[in-house]
Structure 1
Amino acid sequence: MESISKKINPKVRGWYQYYGRFYKSAMYRPLVNIERYLVRWLQAKYKKLRGHENLAKQFLRKVRADSPSIFYHWTLGLRL
């Protein structure tokens, strides 16, 4: 998770600082898409999650509960 967060966090932080200042409602869709991307990435990375989207979402929820500061949009308190 750490390697992917290093790729995603700077971009999300920049988007949120620019668009979030004026269009907070416009940030919801991209953040949902990032969550979908994370679920797909987990399914590709772990064999036991392949073809099981709900298990991948549960795994992502557990990771969020254990360390909520991995991804920038999680630190904002956004629960998608």
Structure 2
Amino acid sequence: MRARNGNVFTGFAPATSKDAIKKMSRKVKSWRLHTLTGHTMDGIARAVNPVIRGWMQYYGAFYKTELYPLLYRISAYLLRWIRKKYRRLKTFTKAHKAWKRITLQYPTLFAHWRWIHGFW
């Protein structure tokens, strides 16, 4: 196969399109996780894990690093939820310590925690 400039093109790396990433980002934003302060973390995990797992299996089959920014964004939304739900964890430092404790205690609670660690 020839590229536009005439050189022979021998490689191909299937990756998630920018439109697909935008669509997934809009979906995550539409969940409005930070407003679900009446729910438990386990309840949120049960609600979002099937969707996240599906994205990881479909889009991450070949080029999973393309999904990392989205997965970190989901974790950032979860950290925001922690800061809203538990007022004593309002400061970033306290929320970060709680985040470390939760991810160590329940490393498989959210599907995307298998691929990323942290929230950015």
Relative to the length of structure 1, the TM-score reads 0.87
Whether the 8 Å contact between 1:5 and 1:71 is mirrored in structure 2 is: yes
Identity across matched positions, percent:
37
Higher relative contact order (CA 8 A, sep 6+): 1
Output the CA distance in 1 between the equivalents of 2:62 and 2:78.
26
**Bigger CA radius of gyration:** 2
Residue equivalent to 1:26: 66
Whether the 8 Å contact between 2:42 and 2:109 is mirrored in structure 1 is: yes
Task: Indicate the RMSD between aligned Cα atoms, in angstroms.
Answer: 1.3
1:78 aligned to 2:116?
Answer: yes
The alpha-carbon deviation at position 31 of structure 1 amounts to 0.8
Q: How many residues align?
A: 78
Structure with the higher fraction of residues in helix conformation: 1
Which residues of structure 2 form unaligned runs of 5+?
1-40
The alpha-carbon deviation at position 77 of structure 1 amounts to 4.5
What letter matches 1:15 in structure 2? W
